[in-house]
Amino acid sequence: MVKPFQFARFPDIYFKNGKLSDLSGFIKKYGNTIILVTGKKSFIQSDQAINLFDSFKKSGIKYHHIIVIGEPSPELIDESVLKLNDQPIQLVVGIGGGSVIDAGKAISAMMFKTGSVKDYLEGVGTKEHPGTKLPFIAVPTTSGTGSEATKNAVISHIGINGFKKSLRHDNLVPDIAIIDPELTLNCPKDITAASGMDCFTQLTEAYLSDKSSPFTDALALEGLKAVKSSLVKSFTDGHDITARAGMSFAALTSGICLANAGLGVVHGFASSIGGMYSVPHGLVCGTLMSSANEINVRELRKKDPAAVALKKYSLLGKLFLDEEGKSDDYFIDGFIQYLKKLTFELQLPGLKDFGLREKDSELICSITENKNNPVKLTMENLMEILIKRI
């Protein structure tokens, strides 16, 4: 019997090398004046950006440019909205990594509203967002968060009392997602590794989630196949367009999967650590993935040896080891070893490189959620996962 599930809508998706060249045409369907949200370097300094701005000029498109550095803060969103609230803007376009797209989503959601975005953040504010927004087009330039297909925007305030929380509403899903793998060719090696591991983590956690469904499982497995064939290749040769396209597809599917199946303990850590320390989100996910899954497997074997999640871990082992005819335990353990090997292959640093110390572990773990994780983890389990990578 198929268990009950629901499936959220996703954007109109256009996936093609060179598809950015059609962006002006999409914009003109909404109007002539936009907010353009980008990062500071990779895209802006590229030939694609030069061509895009030339296209804007020829098409009569006016844009107000917002630059995002790091993960978006409430102050960035509030200041951007205050600055542009009185302008005749018809559309927001975000071209960049997950932080840029999240910033664009939040700006589109907060235009023409009073108050701060903090008022609407889960676990921070007290207001429920009404879902009204300016239309939003997402154009990812990295292969990680899948934010181009999700209904939330992650906003961070970093510090000892900081937070990393979502602005969320079904209507905040981008109206259009343009996936142009050529835009990822300029992605630096370290960001390729971190964002790729974020994508890998999202697909794995959504597949193992207790909220997973036949739809999300099918999508997650297709995305994981792309990760297997493309992640290491895109890291070792950033100009391999086939590998880059594979990771663009994997990231897109990871966003759809997380929006419908939720995530696990690794992303719980990414939220708690990301609110306290300036650590790239994908790096937290990548560096904790092997230790978290190792503890998940150990606790599942103790508490529920017949768990569906253990069978899924075995299937993951078969996929990534590319073997047949061995026991479930062989494939489960092999998958964990694959993750450990990948951590070193992608040169992912430990968390101590970003200021984390063992003495911080208890506070971090006390605010780390593991809902939707395939097994409920204790405080001791969480401490063990974290300390392994400090």
pLDDT in tens, 144-161: 999 999 999 999 998 888
Selected residue with higher pLDDT from 70 and 309: 309
139 found inside a domain: yes
375 found inside a domain: yes
Whether 281 and 341 share a structural domain: yes
Whether 96 and 218 share a structural domain: no
What is the number of domains present in the chain? 2
The model's confidence at residue 390, banded by pLDDT at 50, 70 and 90, is: confident
Range of the domain at 279: 193-236+264-387
Q: What is the pLDDT of residue 178?
A: 99
Whether 176 and 199 share a structural domain: no
- Using an 8 Å Cβ cutoff, are 129 and 120 in contact? yes
Both tokens of 37, joined, read: 């949200």
Type of residue found at 154: V
Q: What is the pLDDT of residue 74?
A: 98
Q: What is the distance between the alpha carbons of residues 88 and 61, in angstroms, rounded to a whole number?
A: 13
Whether 80 and 216 share a structural domain: no
Q: What is the distance between the alpha carbons of residues 22 and 206, in angstroms, rounded to a whole number?
A: 32
Axis crossing angle, helix 214-236 with helix 328-345, rounded to the nearest 10: 40
The model's confidence at residue 81, banded by pLDDT at 50, 70 and 90, is: very high
Segment 76-85 shows an average pLDDT of: 97
Selected residue with higher pLDDT from 220 and 322: 220
Q: What is the distance between the alpha carbons of residues 68 and 35, in angstroms, rounded to a whole number?
A: 13
Parallel/antiparallel/unpaired status of strands 33-38 and 163-168: unpaired
Neighbours of 127 (CB within 10 A): 12
Both tokens of 54, joined, read: 């030339």
Is residue 1 predicted with pLDDT exceeding 80?
no
Segment 233-248 shows an average pLDDT of: 98
Q: How many Cα atoms within 13 Å fall on the side-chain side of residue 178?
A: 23
Q: What is the pLDDT of residue 159?
A: 86
- Using an 8 Å Cβ cutoff, are 133 and 172 in contact? yes
Is residue 314 predicted with pLDDT exceeding 80?
yes
Last residue of a domain, one of 152, 184, 216: 184
Lowest average pLDDT, out of 13-27, 226-240, 327-341, 342-356, goes to 342-356
Whether 117 and 213 share a structural domain: no
Whether 175 and 204 share a structural domain: no
Q: What is the pLDDT of residue 320?
A: 98
Whether 276 and 323 share a structural domain: yes
Q: What is the pLDDT of residue 41?
A: 82
pLDDT in tens, 35-56: 999 999 889 989 999 999 999 9
Whether 218 and 303 share a structural domain: yes
**R_g of the chain computed on alpha carbons:** 20
Interior CA angle at 70 toward 67 and 72, to 5°?
A: 75
Q: What is the distance between the alpha carbons of residues 373 and 39, in angstroms, rounded to a whole number?
A: 33
Whether 23 and 67 share a structural domain: yes
Q: What is the distance between the alpha carbons of residues 388 and 390, in angstroms, rounded to a whole number?
A: 6
Q: The domain spanning residue 131 has which CATH number? A: 3.40.50.1970
For the stretch 236-242, contacts whose Cβ atoms lie closer than 8 Å and that sit 24 or more positions apart, written own/partner, are 238/185, 238/187, 238/189, 238/192, 239/185, 241/17, 241/181, 241/182, 241/185
Axis crossing angle, helix 308-321 with helix 214-236, rounded to the nearest 10: 30
251 found inside a domain: no
Q: Helix (H, G, I), strand (E, B), or coil: what is residue 366?
A: helix
Interior CA angle at 143 toward 35 and 308, to 5°?
A: 125
The model's confidence at residue 191, banded by pLDDT at 50, 70 and 90, is: very high
pLDDT in tens, 89-136: 999 999 999 999 999 999 999 998 989 999 999 999 999 999 999 999
Give the pTM.
Answer: 0.96
Whether 40 and 109 share a structural domain: yes
% the chain with pLDDT above 90: 91
Q: What is the pLDDT of residue 160?
A: 81
Q: What is the pLDDT of residue 122?
A: 96
Average pLDDT, the chain: 96
242 found inside a domain: no
156 found inside a domain: yes
The model's confidence at residue 246, banded by pLDDT at 50, 70 and 90, is: very high
Q: The domain spanning residue 336 has which CATH number? A: 1.20.1090.10
Q: Using alpha carbons, select from 60, 67, 11 the residue that is nearest to residue 35.
A: 67
280 found inside a domain: yes
Whether 40 and 173 share a structural domain: yes
Q: What is the distance between the alpha carbons of residues 201 and 373, in angstroms, rounded to a whole number?
A: 12
